[in-house]
Structure formats: C-alpha cells, structure tokens
Structure 1
Amino acid sequence: MPHEGNLLQAAVVFLFAAVLTVPLAKRLQLGAVLGYLFAGVIIGPSVLGLIGNPQSVSHISELGVVLLLFIIGLELSPRRLWVMRKAVFGVGLAQVLLTGSVIGTVALFVFGQPLNSAIVLGLGLALSSTAFGLQSLAERKELTAPHGRLAFAILLFQDIAAIPLIAMVPVLAGGDHSTTAAQDLNHGLQVLGSIAVVVIGGRYLLRPVFRIVARTGLREVSTATALLVVIGTAWLMDLVGVSMALGAFLAGLLLADSEYRHELEAQIEPFKGLLLGLFFISVGMGANISLLFSAPAAVLGLTLLLILIKLPLLYVVGRLAGGLGQLNALRLGVVLAAGGEFAFVVFKIGRDQGLFEPRLYDLLVLTITLSMALTPLLLLLCGRLIQAKPAVVPVPEHLRSIDTDAPRVVIAGMGRMGQIVARILRAQNIQFVALDTSVETIELTRSFGGLPVFYGDPMRPEILSAAKVEQAEFFVIATDDPETNIKTAEIVRKRYPHMKIIARARNRQHVHRLVDLDAQAVRETFYSSLEMSRRTLVGLGLSPTQAQARIDRFKLHDEQVLAAQHAVYDDAAKVMQTAQEAREELARLFESDRLDEQSEKPASSL
C-alpha cells in the first residue's frame, strides 16, 4: 500500500505536469492529447523518474476510457445504434479484417514471425485508440462530420472485437488446454449473465434509484450514484473477463433514453476529462524511451510502417465501404492510423503467454505510443494542406454566363437573407439578378424557384458589368462575411457613385463603416432580437400594446444613439461614454412610460 505522502506527491506531479504541458501543446495547435503524452514521458522513469512505477496508476487511468465510453453510450440510444448497424458491423468488420490481414501478412513474411504471433500482431495493430481518436475529433468539433461518425462506428466495433481477441491470445499461444468444454460454457454463461444484469438493471432498477436520489436534492449524492453506476458496471464486466469500457458503453446505451441522461453526463464529464488525461499520461510514462535511443531506426521505421499501412487501408475502407469523399476518407485515415490502447492489453497477454519476447513487446508499446504522438501532427498537417489547396469545384458554363434583362435590383449573396429578398422581389414581379460563389447554393436556389442566380464574385468589375449593375437602381449586399460586404460596397460605390446600396451588417462597427460608404446598413439580428424581446415582455405580463410601445421606443432610441456614435466610433472611450449615457436615458424613458401608463389607469377604469 503506498504511503499517503507518496499519493499526495504523485497527485501533485500529475497535476503540475498536465497544467504545464497541455496548455503549451494547445497553444502550439498540437492538441491536448499530445500534451498529456509528453507530460507522461517527462515525469516517467525514462526521463525525470518522478513516478517510478507507471503500473501503479494504470488501473486508475483506465477509468478515463471507461467514463468516455459511458458518455458515448449516453449520447447514443438502442434505436440509433440499430440505425448505425451497417457502419458498425459492416465497415468496422471490413476495417479490422483487411488491416489485420495485411499487417499479419507483413509480420509473417517480412519479419519472419510465427503464424500465431503474426495473427495476434495483425489484429492487435488493426485496433485504433478509442480515447485518442474521439478526443482528437472532439477537439476539432468533427464528431458529427461524415468521417467523425464513421470513425466512431469503426472504433465501437473495435472495442467489441477486442473481447474475443483477448480471449483468443492464450489459445493461439498454445497455453493452458486444461479447460474443458464445460468450463468454457460456464464462462460464456457468466458473460451472458453479467450482460443480462446490466440490461435488466438499466431498464428497471436504475431509473427508480435516480428518482430517489434526485429527490434528496444533494448534488454530491447524485455524483456518487453516477460514478457507482459506471464503475460498478465496469467492475462487474471485468470480473467475467469482458472489457470494462464495453460494459460502461452498454450501461450508457441503456440509459440513453432516460430522463436523467443530461444529469448523468454533467456529473461524469469532469471526472472523464481528468481520468482520460491521466490515461494518456500513463501511456507516455510506459514508453521505453531508452529503446528509442538504442534502436532508433527500428522504432521509427516500425512507427512509420504502421501508419503507412493503416492510413491507405482506412482511406480505401472509407471510400468503398463508408461512401466518404476523398478528403473525409483521408481525415478518417489520419485519425485512426495510430495503434490503440487495447493493443497494450493484447500484447501484454501475448508476452506473458510467450508469444512475444520482452524486447519485441517494448518495441511494440513504443511504436504504438509514437504513432499516437504523431497523430495530432498529422491532423495539423492534413488541415493545413487542405486549407492551402482547397478543392476546386467545377462551375458549369450555364451558371457562369449571366444572361439577364436590365435588372432593377442586384443581389450579392444568396444565403438566408438574400433568398428572402429575392422571393419578395419575385412575388412583386420586380426584375433582379443575384450573384453567389457557391455552386451548391446556386443549383439549390434554381431548383426551387428558377430564380435568376448566377455564379460570380461581386468584387470583380467584369462580373458587375456582366450583371448590368449600371442599369440597376439598388445593389443589395447580403453575404454572411462582414469584410466581403464592406469591400463589395467600396467597389460598387467607386464604380457606380449614384447606386443605392443596402448592405447586411454584423454589428455596430460594421454599420459605421458601411455608412461611411453611403450605404444603408441593416443589422442582421437586430429586428429578430426586437421580436424576441417583444414576445418575452408579453409573456412577462405586459399587454401587446405596452410591449410594442417599449420595442418602438427602444428601436427609435437605439437608432438615434447609433447615429450619434457614428461621429466618434473610432474613439473607444467616447463610444463607451455615449453607451453609458444612452443606457441611463433609456431607463428614464421606460420609467416615464411606466408612470404615464399608471396615471392613465384610473381614468380608463371610470
């Protein structure tokens, strides 16, 4: 049992390393995961040796993966999982079998491994890191992207596949054959019984328990109950030899439709983040860095070979089986090209069963760890290459040629605002022409109403000439980029000095800049905000007449303040001063309106 002082020291070391390295990694755009891995390497026995025994925290750190899978289960539901069955059991199975076969073949024929070792190597390295992949996708807000959804489905199948793989390793090693068919049947019944306990408990026991706990109103008891559910399920599954993470996922899946789902997620989330960070730190601590210096060619060569085999295979699976586009298939490959945490478990059992020599085991662990460390760098490189070389969308000729009669209005930008303007003008039989730079938007708009929308950048003079802007009365600028709107207004004002320009503005500063160009600025959220405020006032007890009077008062007052601030909008101090004075004046006006209404009540009641 470790001494209490050692536990406190270890906690301080872990927290200090995380606080120091993770923000630095995030600032360098490398991702939090790489920061945790780097922290583990620094404090581990290979560098500073602040934590002498990495295995002492491995079991606690595995709870991070357990909690992650529980929250993933909460965000799904049995119905949604059934919808995903083709991606999970179709694409996931294809990925594991294809990647495992190729890596196993390389291990068998290139590196001369025995057949049983090659099978374990192939299937073990075919697995990817659930924690690493999902954390990387979450950091980039890509979990709901096409490649993010497919990555999740593949990772989910890999977690399921890890169970038979772990059970298969001793058999392939030719280990203990003393188990009888009756014992195997007994173990299978234990697994099924444990799953049945989780299913029945999740359906009929947990909801009444959470209902009772919720009535106490004690947050700490609610947190303890949530942790008990997750850790208890993981412990039960671990007892019968099933993956703790898969057991937690099953528990979360059963509670996905529960009315306490959001409460559970909120209670677990802080622990998940800390323990997941601890998991990555423990992975970094377990890396045998000395092997990197004694045999750098072998370590780096195997790491690159692993990525160079898995990435193209994942790309092919994503394209052919997953139906992804080229860029999304490439992103899928980059996210899942690294090794996974379950490979550590599989290879450790293989080493203990005599399938691998200790040196080969250390080499495999370091290879998987380095492949994880390279993933954020590959994601960063992939993102920059995609940004640097955007896909060129071919523009059909019928969208390029602007064939129109003399328009009275030209609209730049056919997004939400531009489409509404176009529909109203069409209803009034007013001639107009619209320009946009999105082929998808143009084709969608044309398919609905046959509107005269053409491909063209409104900041290019030849496009403006082709659209016959000189014959128009109004130029409406409705794109969702404030800088584009301002530059377009500048160009139109310079080329067509007498043109009436109405432009969409993001905020007050953009209003001022557009007014400088003699354009009428329309704030994109101003009028919808006024309507929301009016409905809120009515809901709070004001009559519709009173609420509308308040809104009209505010609108007039705000427009007056905006006009007054235009003279000083480049002086921040004066803008702040006028804003403060405007707030006080508006409060006085509202109070005056309220007193006037009160004084009128007795007269109206007579």
Structure 2
Amino acid sequence: MLHDGFLLLGFALAFVLLFRRVGLGATLGYLLAGVVVGPQCLHLVGDAEQKMGIAELGITLLLFLVGLELEPARLWKMRRDIFVLGSLQVTACGLVLAAALHFATGFSSAAALALGLPLALSSTAQVLPMLQSSGRMKTRFGERAFAVLLLQDLSIIPLITIVAALSRNPADAGGPPGWLMVAETAGAIVALVVAGRYLLRPLFRVIGNLGEREMFVVAALFTVLAAAALMQMLGLSSALGAFIAGVMLAGTPYRHELEAAVEPFRSILLGLFFLSVGMMLDLSAIVQEPLFVLAITLLLITTKAAVIFGLALLFRMNWRGALALGLLLSQGGEFAFVLFTQATRAQLIAPQAASLFGAVVTLSMATTPFLMSATRKFRAEPAAKDEVREGPEGIGKSRAEGDCANAVIVGYGRFGQTVAQMLLAGGIGVTLIDRNVGMIDTAATFGSRVYFGDGTRLDVLRQAGADSAEMIMFCLDGDQIDAELIEAVGQAFPQAAVHVRVFDRFGMIKLEPTGAALVIRETIESAIAMARAAFDGAGLSQEAIRRAEVAYRARDRERLRAQIETGDMHAAPERIFTEVEGLPPEITATG
C-alpha cells in the first residue's frame, strides 16, 4: 500500500502541476497519470478495480459537500430543473444515443439501450469541481448543471431496473421487481431525512459543546458512510444517500466546520478516482479498434452536446449558456462503468464491448477540459447584473444591488454582536462564526444565523467565503489572536482587509508588524466615551471636550509609536497625562 501510494501521489503531483500550469485542469492530469503509472503503460501500480472501489468514496464525499450547500427550501425551488430538464436530458440523450448505436453498429435494440442509456449520464466527479473552481456553482447556470447531474444520480435506479428487465441471464429472473426498488428508495430517503433531523443535529450539538475538532471529523465521516452504506445495502446510489445527509445538515450552524472536516478526504479520494479511471483505460482495446473508439467518442460528445443545447434553449437559456451547458455535460460519466458491468452480467453486451465503451467514456472525460478551454472566448459573455457569485452565506443580495460589501466576523460575543449589527445596518452582508454552541442557539432565537467553527483556522475561513470577502474581522475575547495567524490570513486572502480586536496596547504592539488594516483596543473607545460624558456633566463646552480628546489621542499614538520602535513598554513616559495640564493650541482634530 505504501509503495502504490507513493507512486500514485508522486505521478499525480507531477501531472496535475503540469496540466494546471498549461491551463488544462487537474482532472486530465489525474487521468493521464493513471494511464502512465497503470498496467497499460509502465505497469508500476496494479489492481485498479480495488482502488476504484475505495476511490468512489470521493464521489460520495463530493455529493455530501454539495448537499451541505443546498438547503431543502433552495432545492425545492430547483424542482423544475431537476425533474423536468434533468428527466428530459437523460431520456432524450439515452434514446438518441441508443438509436444511433443501433443503426451505426448493428447492435441489437436491447444491447443498444444497455449502452446508450448509461452514456446519457455525465461525470458528476468532473463537472462539479469545474463549477466550484470557476465560482459558478451558485449561479443560475451552475444550478441548472447541478440539477441535471442530480437527476442523473437519481436515474441510476430506473436504469438498473431497465437493464434487469432486458436481461438474458436466467439468474436475473428472480430479482426484485422495479416497483420494490422504487419503494425501498423512497423509504431510505425518508429514513435519512428523519435521522438527519432527530439524530444528526443533536449529535453535532453535543460534539460542538465538547469542543473536540477530531470528533467532528469522525462524526462527519460516520454520517457520510452511514448514509452511503444504507443506500448501497439497497442496491442504490451511495452518493445519493450522502447528498441527502448533506441537505439535512445544510441549515445547521455546523455546516462550515463539516465542510472543513470532509474537504481534505474528498480531494484526495476524488483524485484517486480519476487515477483509477486512467489505470482502467484499456489501451489494447483502443489499439485494436482505434477508429471505432474515436468515432463513438465523437458521436457521444456531439450527440449529447447537441441534445442538451436544444433542451437548454427550450428552457429559455441564451445560446451561449446553452452551448456551455451542452459542452460541460457532453462526456460520459463514472456511473456508466457500473451500468456496463450490469449489462455484461445480464448478457446484453460482451465483455469486449464493455471495455471498448469504457475507453470511450474515459476519452470523452478527457476532452471536456479541452472543449471548455477552446470555446471560452466564443461562448463568453459578461456576467448578468443580478447574477450571484459564490461568497459568504447570508449576504442575500447581488453586487448590483447597491454594490454591497461583505465581511466574515469571527466571534459573536458582545463585541462581535455590535460590529455585526452596525455592518448590517449599513448594508454590508456578514457571515458569523463562533465556537460557543450556547451563543449560537441564543442568536438563533433572535433570528441571527451564526455558524459553528474555529474561525482562527484558514480552512474554516475559506469554507465561510473568506476568498471573496472584503473584510475579515476578528472580534474574539482576550488575546486569542497572534501575529502568525494574521500574517497567514493576509497571505491566504489578500483581497480582504483584516480587522482585529485586542485587549490592550500589548496586543496592538504584538500585531503591529502584521499589516492588519485595523487593530483596535476593546476598551479605549468606551473609556473615552465615559470621559466625554464626565466633561459634559462638569459643564465643559463641546470645543473643550473635543480638544481634550484630540490631545489624549495624539499623545497616546506618540507613546504607542515609541513603544513599538524601542520594544520598551516604558518608553515615552512624558506623553502620559499625570496632572492637570493646559491644552496646547496647536492640537487639531487630525493630531
């Protein structure tokens, strides 16, 4: 295992870096690395089927993360795209491809259906990361692409039923009827919904109170695997179960912490999946029938792109968006390998045909980054003014509506609450993060959504939308923030101004070299406000009060500057007011 892991990760690292550098994307790098390291080329690593079984967990984790971003209410709004556009895509592409294969190759009608219907499915593992990396996952275009992919995952059940109904294998005659599989699926979905509401949410609340991050990782993986295992036990799509579990947790305060816990496993396993696909590519089948494989690959891509383009136009997408959707979903998908295996067992196609069409699917997946890159300028158009790009949760309006800024606030205690309410009053959207479960629950009773998580971790900040935030504001009690963290945040999110609350001038001196946009002492403004009130009560004029405040602030800045430069907390003692002094006339508001 160590030997194989070393080689796979080494080749993956080299090829992905190379392909990223030339702008072809990570997926193609993983695929080619798998081809080179696998049994068809250098033969350094074998047993691709076993690795594929493990790597399919990457798709399961990917669907769980997607589910975390889709609350049930938002999913319900997408129902037309899911059930109408998605169903039309699978049906139309499957039937057109089956008919084309029947007339072009002479396959029987049953064999053509067993091949055409799986080819109608696209690669969720390839398309979703492409949407996420381009920031289009939450756009109207991204939602439609995801709706089609989700329906494709749901269609695994009826497609397996169709293959079983067409089976020529006598052993399949005693299999469960299709209506029973549908009933089992519905029951499993209901069970997951109930478990998510009454078991998972209380579980994560208990873990949040314990404050153990490791337990969050364990609980997150347990949730995904349990949901996937339930579906797999029923012979259904394990990824669908993980997706439903994610949707059930999307509206909880623990979403960002869960994303941060699962994301590293998803990235590694999804990379292993594409490595395995490359290792399983049957080069001998391509060598024996190169023209056939290339012709069927071209037929697959052009047919799916054309059909999806037409359907998108029917759903009132503009031609550029329709073309982009058609090209993005033009490849075959990972579930085709599962259905080809089912068709082989059902004696509908020969093993050699399954190998050939597996090569077709792999080649079609490799073409997608090229197609999207080659047509970018042709189909590009300015983003719609009302299009919402990915960013922190809770912003609730687009950049066109008042050009609102957005901020991530870490810490929702008394200080953070005031900052958040002021920003919201000024039209700035906020994402709130805190580790105090009691505070999160209390905030919910007032209608505020606060996410659970450790906002001093870069991965949690990234999941909360710090990549697109204009401000990151640390409002934590005491001196929990150190210089290394602020420097790391500034490097990771250079577009965001970092604001930090510190306890006293010791904290300001510590953070001065970090380049933070603002470091503020938590008590200074309230102390000045009290002094102003005392002056007012003593009958001083507003001009005298203003001059006193300006004089204090000027001396305080001078003393702080001297302390920073010398590293001596006792520097510039003469700048401290120790007795009544007359205000120098040269002190002004800009001090």
Q: Taking structure 2 as the reference length, what is the TM-score of the superposition?
A: 0.67
Shift of residue 243, structure 1, vs aligned partner: 0.3
**Alpha-carbon spacing, 1:245–1:586, altered in 2? closer, same or farther (3 Å):** same
Shift of residue 278, structure 1, vs aligned partner: 0.6
**Alpha-carbon spacing, 1:595–1:240, altered in 2? closer, same or farther (3 Å):** farther
Aligned residues: 444
- C-alpha contact (below 8 Å) 1:31/1:139 kept by paired residues: no
Q: Establish whether residue 357 from structure 1 lines up as the match of residue 350 from structure 2.
A: yes
User: Structure 2 residue aligned with 1:46, among 40, 44, 56?
Assistant: 40
Shift of residue 184, structure 1, vs aligned partner: 6.2
Report the equivalent of 2:486.
Answer: none
| Counterpart Cα distance in 1 of 2:552 and 2:306 | 60
- C-alpha contact (below 8 Å) 1:33/1:135 kept by paired residues: no
- C-alpha contact (below 8 Å) 1:170/1:176 kept by paired residues: no
Shift of residue 291, structure 1, vs aligned partner: 2.2
SS of structure 1 residue aligned to 2:106: coil
Shift of residue 161, structure 1, vs aligned partner: 0.9
Report the equivalent of 2:86.
Answer: 92
Shift of residue 535, structure 1, vs aligned partner: 8.4
Q: Establish whether residue 543 from structure 1 lines up as the match of residue 528 from structure 2.
A: yes
Report the equivalent of 2:25.
Answer: 31
Letter in 2 for 1:378: L
- C-alpha contact (below 8 Å) 2:95/2:116 kept by paired residues: yes
Q: Deviations over 1:544-596 (max 9, x none)?
A: 68998599979x99xxxxxxxxxxxxxxxxxxxxxxx99978999x986x964
User: Structure 2 residue aligned with 1:335, among 302, 313, 328?
Assistant: 328
| Counterpart Cα distance in 1 of 2:306 and 2:552 | 60
Q: Establish whether residue 107 from structure 1 lines up as the match of residue 107 from structure 2.
A: no
Report the equivalent of 2:366.
Answer: 373
Q: CA RMSD in A?
A: 4.0
| Counterpart Cα distance in 1 of 2:549 and 2:346 | 79
Letter in 2 for 1:224: V
Q: Deviations over 1:392-422 (max 9, x none)?
A: x9xxxxxxxxxxxxxxxxxxxx9989xxxxx
The more displaced of 33-42 and 190-199 is: 190-199
Shift of residue 35, structure 1, vs aligned partner: 0.8
User: Structure 1 residue aligned with 2:578, among 599, 602, 605?
Assistant: 599
Kindly indicate which of the two structures has a greater share of residues assigned to helix.
1
Shift of residue 599, structure 1, vs aligned partner: 3.2
Letter in 1 for 2:368: T
**Alpha-carbon spacing, 1:117–1:550, altered in 2? closer, same or farther (3 Å):** farther
Identical aligned residues as a percent: 38
Report the equivalent of 1:441.
Answer: none
Letter in 1 for 2:86: G
- C-alpha contact (below 8 Å) 1:73/1:253 kept by paired residues: yes
Unaligned runs of 5+ residues in structure 1 are 1-6, 394-413, 418-524, 526-531, 558-580
Q: Establish whether residue 168 from structure 1 lines up as the match of residue 153 from structure 2.
A: no
**Alpha-carbon spacing, 1:601–1:182, altered in 2? closer, same or farther (3 Å):** farther
Report the equivalent of 1:155.
Answer: 149
Shift of residue 201, structure 1, vs aligned partner: 1.1
**Alpha-carbon spacing, 1:540–1:159, altered in 2? closer, same or farther (3 Å):** farther
Q: Establish whether residue 218 from structure 1 lines up as the match of residue 203 from structure 2.
A: no
| Counterpart Cα distance in 2 of 1:583 and 1:291 | 75
SS of structure 1 residue aligned to 2:317: coil
Report the equivalent of 2:64.
Answer: 70
1:247-262 pair list within 5 angstroms: 247-262=241-256
Unaligned runs of 5+ residues in structure 2 are 385-399, 404-496, 498-516, 533-545, 584-591
Report the equivalent of 2:483.
Answer: none
Q: Establish whether residue 59 from structure 1 lines up as the match of residue 48 from structure 2.
A: no
| Counterpart Cα distance in 1 of 2:96 and 2:176 | 36
Shift of residue 95, structure 1, vs aligned partner: 1.3
- C-alpha contact (below 8 Å) 1:227/1:268 kept by paired residues: yes
Q: Establish whether residue 236 from structure 1 lines up as the match of residue 230 from structure 2.
A: yes
User: Structure 1 residue aligned with 2:221, among 227, 231, 241?
Assistant: 227
Letter in 2 for 1:356: I
Report the equivalent of 1:516.
Answer: none
Letter in 1 for 2:75: L
User: Structure 1 residue aligned with 2:285, among 288, 291, 294?
Assistant: 291
1:256-405 pair list within 5 angstroms: 256-321=250-315, 323-386=316-379
**Alpha-carbon spacing, 1:145–1:196, altered in 2? closer, same or farther (3 Å):** closer
Letter in 1 for 2:331: A
Report the equivalent of 2:111.
Answer: 117
Q: Deviations over 1:255-289 (max 9, x none)?
A: 11112111111100000000010111111111011
Q: Deviations over 1:315-374 (max 9, x none)?
A: 1122222x2222221211111100011111111111121111122111111111011101
